[in-house]
Amino acid sequence: MAYSHEMRAAFADEIKEIKESGLFKEKRFIHSPQDAEIEVEYPEGAEKDRVLNFCANNYLGFSSHPEVVQAAHRGLDERGYGMSSVRFICGTQDIHRELQDKVTAFLGMEDTLLFPSCMDANAGVFEAIFGKGDAIISDRLIHASLIDGIRLCKADREIFEHMDMGDLRNKLEAHRDKRRRVVVTDGVFSMDGDMAPLREICDVADEFDALVLVDDSHATGFIGKKGRGTHEFFDVMDRVDIITTTFGKALGGASGGCVSGRRELVELCRQRARPYLFSNSVSPVIVSATIRVLELLTETTERRDKLEENTAYFRKKIAEAGLNVRPGDTPIVPVMLYNAKLANDMARDMYAEGIYVIGFFYPVVPKGEARIRVQLSAAHEKAHIDKCVEAFRKVGEKHGILGLDEKGIVDKYGL
Ligand SMILES: *Cc1c(COP(=O)(O)O)cnc(C)c1O
């Protein structure tokens, strides 16, 4: 038996190291559907608490929306539970085609290909389209799944500093002689909630005949007046060549993702992207529900409008309460605490006040930039937001950080 006593002990030591470095990830068991208010068992085995959820990607409140649940039931009843096949063998139903067409129309692109997740879309898209002799030039802070996808591709990789257009220009210049160049960015960066300057990115890309790929996972459904994403927000809907995005966040939050873009590029993914060819089809349940979500989003902008109002209201109130937040326009609001232990302690105290938020610190964010990341949702009501702000005020007062800027907090708590 290879898995000897010694080997078990060695692996257990690795886990112990993770714990000792303070980076061990605990989970909480949720006993209710995902919503603004959830029932949580934490720590494991404890009495369940009802808490307000301010850390889900349930931006539009569709995760347990009755119409979405009903559409999921319809998918189950009419098309069954599973496909037991990949797409190109016998895993494509009419509703898969319908969803692809709906995504194409919603995003304003030419064609769309579904993947089991956006992680898979990102894992497949680069290798399918680019190769030796090409250059992939990406923002320093892109999502881990893009980084992994780029690693699987034989093209040269280059990084430009976060949102630094001068640096992007230099890096494109350095790869002028390549066959093709593609600029890669997140539309909304999930840790800071900041938006990539897509208009400038498209302008710079044009100077060098570079394609533009945007991962809009934290934008699809709610950024832009019609919720189409960052390309709508920056009015560059015809200038972004490839969008990858997820159905696992605002669009119902189950799972699934896609590559949407220029017809030929999507076709290359259909022919060559390995997660599309070698992983199972998205379940009819999810396809049916996601179709309904896109219909709802096309019928009315009510939910993204409410999310925008909630975000503006929270940002105003939390600043008035004396907390130090990163400015921005997205429903991702980082309450900056800089010190990792402080972020952890405050998140725990917030939980005791009935508000579920999580402290983020190195290596998820850079050293010295610890924070509590708050995420707003259209499922939140004003009263929920007021309760969250009041809890922050109380907990912030307890820790003596109200009204302090970065220097004030760092002087008090260190890094
Ligand atoms: C969440 C996220 C993903 C992964 O999406 P899944 O569909 O859950 O795999 C990919 N990219 C970005 C930017 C994300 O935020």
Three-class DSSP labels, 193-229: CCECCHHHHHHHHHHCCEEEEEECCCCCCCCCCCCCC
Closest Cα to atom 12, ligand 1: which residue? 217
Closest to 340 in 3D by CA, of 317, 363, 319, 356: 363
Q: What is the pLDDT of residue 88?
A: 95
Residues carrying CATH 3.90.1150.10, the chain = 22-53+302-413
Q: What is the pLDDT of residue 255?
A: 97
Query: Which position among 190, 217, 255, 288 bears the catalytic label?
Result: 190
Buried/exposed code over 396-410 (b: 16+ C-beta within 10 A; e: otherwise): beebebbebeeeebe
Closest atom of ligand 1 to CA, residue 189: 13
> Under a CB-based contact definition with an 8 Å cutoff, are residues 128 and 272 in contact?
yes
Cα-to-centroid distance, 257 and ligand 1 (Å): 8
249 is catalytic: yes
For the chain, the C-alpha Rg in angstroms (whole number) is 22
**CA 142 to CA 375: how far, in whole Å?**
19
From 246, 249, 375, the mutation candidate for ligand 1 (largest count of ligand atoms within 8 A of CB) is: 246
Q: What is the pLDDT of residue 363?
A: 84
Q: What is the pLDDT of residue 1?
A: 86
Q: What is the pLDDT of residue 364?
A: 86
Running DSSP on this structure, what letter comes out for residue 57? S
Any atom of ligand 1 within 6 Å of the Cβ of 257: yes
Q: What is the pTM of this model?
A: 0.97
Any atom of ligand 1 within 6 Å of the Cβ of 190: yes
Residues carrying CATH 3.40.640.10, the chain = 66-299
**CA 149 to CA 168: how far, in whole Å?**
20
Q: What is the pLDDT of residue 73?
A: 98
Closest atom of ligand 1 to CA, residue 188: 13
Residue with tokens 């400038």: 200
* 64 three-state secondary structure: coil
- Identify the CATH number of the domain defined by range 22-53+302-413: 3.90.1150.10
Apex 128 CA angle, 260 and 215, nearest 5: 40
Running DSSP on this structure, what letter comes out for residue 177? T
190 is catalytic: yes
* Domain 66-299: top CATH class: alpha beta
Tell me the angle at which helices 284-299 and 302-320 cross, rounded to the nearest 10 degrees.
Answer: 80
> Under a CB-based contact definition with an 8 Å cutoff, are residues 318 and 350 in contact?
no
For 324, counting Cβ atoms within 10 Å of its Cβ (0-12 exposed, 13-18 middle, 19+ buried), the class is buried
Q: Averaged in consecutive runs of 10 residues, what is the pLDDT profile of the chain (415 residues)?
A: 95 93 82 97 91 98 98 98 97 98 98 98 98 98 97 98 98 98 98 97 98 98 98 98 98 98 98 97 98 98 98 98 96 97 95 96 91 98 98 98 97 94
Apex 293 CA angle, 313 and 110, nearest 5: 105
Cα-to-centroid distance, 146 and ligand 1 (Å): 9
Q: What is the pLDDT of residue 43?
A: 86
Tell me the angle at which helices 118-129 and 144-151 cross, rounded to the nearest 10 degrees.
Answer: 30
* 316 three-state secondary structure: helix
Q: What is the pLDDT of residue 19?
A: 87
Q: What is the pLDDT of residue 27?
A: 83
Enumerate residues 6+ apart whose C-beta is below 8 A from 366. none
Q: What is the pLDDT of residue 24?
A: 78
**CA 183 to CA 159: how far, in whole Å?**
10
218 is catalytic: yes
Q: What is the pLDDT of residue 313?
A: 98
From 117, 118, 247, the mutation candidate for ligand 1 (largest count of ligand atoms within 8 A of CB) is: 118
